[in-house]
Amino acid sequence: MSIEQLSIIGLASLVSISCSLCGVYLVLRRLALISDAISHSILLGIVCSFFIVHDLNSPLLILGATLTGVLMVYLTEILVASKRLKKDASIGLVFPLFFSISVLLINLFAADIHLDQDSVLLGEIAFTPFRLLTIWGYNLGPASLWVMGGILVLNVVFISVFYKELKLTTFDHGLAAMLGFFPAYLHYAFMAMVSITAVGAFESVGVILVVALMIVPPATAYLLTNRLFPMMILSIVFGLASSLLGYSMAFYLNVSIAGSMAVMTGILFLLVFLFSPSQGLIMKFLTFQQQRILFSTNMLLIQLLEHEGTKTEKTENTVSNLIVHMKWTFKFANSIVSYALEKGFIQRHDDRLLLTSFGREKAKRVIVMDA
């Protein structure tokens, strides 16, 4: 593998790790589409700052981008607070405007620099090896690697310093406010963090595919675990896997690297969506029958318990009544009865059904569980 390929893979890895880290909180806070809005909005900051400094590598660009990201969030919240528009419409109005203005500015004034429409949408991870950072004449390797590395460090520091607070504000906003954690400030700090990460990632993969790297790996991880820390680790794993697989796919098929990475996040998501042991579609489909039997057995047990010792018990608690009452087929009623017999919940005397003491306990537990 050549040094060029290595630096591309390195950058892809850094981008995907940083995005996954932010993304976990975006997904948990139900702010997934804010990442879309932010990644579109930062372009305005980048373009405006560029007109000031005329240098695409200036750190001022990151600052300007972060500011516009946060400004977009603020504007949306003002619109919502004015009660003239709902939240989704407000988001959907502000970021296209920001994005349109920046594209027009690029169209009009920056056509000759390499900030063109295509690189905005597609990123230019393929050019990574050719933009080198040189300080006092020393070649320090690709500049993007340094920038993205710095952003990753910032992410890690931010999340470890505010881990407790982030966790609390994510899961219980009201409690966090009561305990004096200023969830609003933390929210904006977090939005700034997302913006910074988006700026770094945007250069590599473009505006829209940032969303894939931020949202899809954490969403995939969330289908496998409910706990915060494992979810972070898993989403980093998925992020890394998609960038590596995506790069190989792009390499062998000679197609867009950024696009391939996004497709890979999607394929991994699809696999987990289908095969996850707890949330997977196939597992759910397989357990559907099982659940139906369990539920029907519960219904049977409660029915028996309710009519136990009543005058109508002899007619109510019979197999034939089940068929009429529950609208079960003869076959299904028999399969439920034999399942309950097998589990030792009931006894059968011809048509009549009686609860065992074990079955009675189970029935009561089912009812109490609902409370």
Partner 1 sequence: MVKPDRLTDLECAVVVQDLTVAYKEKPVLWDIDLKIPKGVLLAIVGPNGAGKTTLLRSIMGMIKPAAGNVAIFGQSIAAKKRSIGYMPQRGTVDWDFPTDALDVVMMGRYGHIGWFKRPSVNDKKLSLEALDRVGMADFASRPLNQLSGGQQQRVFLARALVQDADLYFMDEPFVGVDAVTEQAIIELLKELRNQSKTVVVVHHDLQTLADYFDWVSLLNVRQIAYGSVADVLTPENLKITYGGRSSFLMHNPVIT
Partner 2 sequence: MGLDVLSLNYTLSIVMAGSFILGISSGVLSSFAVLRQQSLLGDVISHAAFPGITLAFLWMMTKDPLGLFFGALVSGWIGTLLVKSIVTYTKLSMDTAFGIVLSVFFGLGIVLLSYIQRLPTSDKAGLNSFLFGSASTLLLQDLIVMGLFCFIILVFLGLFWKEFKLLTFDTSFMSSMGFPVAKLDMLLTILLVMAIVLGLQMVGVVLMSAMMIAPAAAARQWTSHLGLMVFLAGFIGLLSGCIGTLVSNAIPQVSTGPMIVVVISIMVIISLVFAPHRGLVCNWIKGYYHRVNIRANSILMNMLLFSESKTDPYHCHQLSALVAIGRGPSLRTMLQLKRQKLVQNPQDDLWGFTELGYKKALTLKKSLYSQSHEH
User: Amino acid identity, residue 93?
Assistant: L
Asked if residue 93 binds partner 2 (CB under 8 A), the reply is: yes
Q: How many residues bind partner 2 (CB under 8 A)?
A: 59
Cβ at position 231, least distance to partner 1 in Å:
24
Q: Which is nearer to partner 1, 41 or 303 (CB)?
A: 303
Tokens of 23: 């993304």
Between the alpha carbon of residue 227 and those of residues 55, 182, 190, 233, the distances in Å are 43, 24, 20, 10
Nearest to 115 by CA among 207, 41, 47: 47
State the binding partner of 367 from partner 1, partner 2, none, CB within 5 to 8 A by kind: partner 1
256 alpha carbon, distance to own chain's centre: 24
For the segment 63-82, give every residue that binds partner 2 (CB under 8 A): 82
Q: How many residues bind partner 1 (CB under 8 A)?
A: 19
Cβ at position 333, least distance to partner 2 in Å:
29
Cβ at position 318, least distance to partner 1 in Å:
14
Tell me which stretch binds partner 1 (CB under 8 A): 149-157, 208-216, 257-265, 325-333: 325-333
Contact set with partner 1 (CB under 8 A): 291, 294-295, 298-299, 302-303, 305-306, 310, 325-327, 364, 367-371
Contact set with partner 2 (CB under 8 A): 27, 30-33, 35-36, 82, 84-86, 88-89, 91-93, 96-97, 99-101, 103-104, 107-108, 111, 117-118, 121-122, 207-209, 211-212, 214-216, 219, 222-223, 250, 253-256, 258-263, 265-266, 269, 273, 279, 281, 284
